[in-house]
Amino acid sequence: MRFLLTGFEPFGGGVQNSSREVVDYFNRHTLEDIEIDGVCLPCVFHQSLDVLSQAINQRAYDAVIALGQADIRQAISIERIAINVDDARIADNQGNQPIDESIVVNGLDAYFSALPIKYLASSLHEQGIAVEVSQTAGTFACNHVFYYLQHTLFKTGIPSGFVHLPALPHASPFHSSTVMTLENMTQGITALLISLKEHILTKSTDKKWSAGAID
């Protein structure tokens, strides 16, 4: 079984990006029965899609999981939905700042994740890993990639989706204290990948597990 795992380069004044560090970890470490191709995407709107598209078309994958960093998150956040809009609060790494622009012109308004998000979240929770289901991936580069990924793989049957990670200790301009260590992140994503493999092999349905939000 082969998975594609993507992360992002640092952005917005950050010195590290937790998603790239996790991807780099899996490029150096193997998982039993899962081959992982890790790719770092530029934090540049359209350029990131070119790199993602090239990676997807490089070979056949059993699943594609995109990772990103969200400084305010305190848990591994499995995203539910991607929306067809860029509304950048800050500029990307090449100074682009699209506002109220479609990611795919005339594309669907939104795509749900093609990952079994409740199955994965409940599995991580049962293992004592800090996890949540997120109802929004924002409107910056992460949602940009998430939407394009779901658009590209729509109706292919390939599990795909987006997962946000907290910042690393002292790596974010918005936090001076540890949010989540790299060790905890890699343990969490390891558990997620193994759970996804099991879900694919058993061809089971997603799980009913409360992870809604009221705000």
Helix then strand then coil, in percent of the chain rounded to 5, is 30, 20, 45
**pLDDT number for residue 177:** 55
* Amino acid (one-letter) located at 90: I
Residue 212's pLDDT band (boundaries 50, 70, 90)? confident
What mean pLDDT is predicted for residues 192-210? 93
Q: Could you give the count of Cα atoms lying within 13 Å of 69 in the half-sphere of its Cβ?
A: 33
- In this prediction, residue 13 carries a pLDDT of 80
**pLDDT value of residue 15:** 81
- Give the pLDDT of residue 70: 92
Q: Which two tokens stand for residue 167?
A: 């910042």
- For 24, the token pair is 């780099």
Cα distance between residue 105 and residue 93, in whole Å: 23
Question: What are 132-187's pLDDT values in tens digits?
Answer: 999 999 999 999 999 999 999 999 999 999 999 999 986 655 555 557 999 999 99
Catalytic residues: 79, 142, 164
Q: Is the pLDDT of residue 106 over 60?
A: yes
Q: Closest Cα partner for 82 from 131, 12, 153, 5? A: 153
pLDDT, residue 174, reads 57
pLDDT class of 42 with cuts at 50, 70, 90: very high
Task: Evaluate if residue 14 carries a pLDDT over 90.
Answer: no
- Nearest Cα neighbor of 163 from 64, 92, 16 is 64
Specify the amino acid at residue 33: D
What value does the mean pLDDT of the chain take? 94
pTM of the model: 0.95
Q: Judge whether 38 and 135 are in contact, CB under 8 Å.
A: no
Residue 148 has what pLDDT? Answer: 98
CA–CA gap between residue 90 and residue 140 (Å, rounded): 8
**CA distances (Å), 149 to each of 14, 27, 54, 212, 214, in order?**
25, 21, 12, 24, 27
Q: Are 177 and 169 in contact (CB under 8 A)?
A: yes
| CATH code for the domain defined by 2-202 | 3.40.630.20
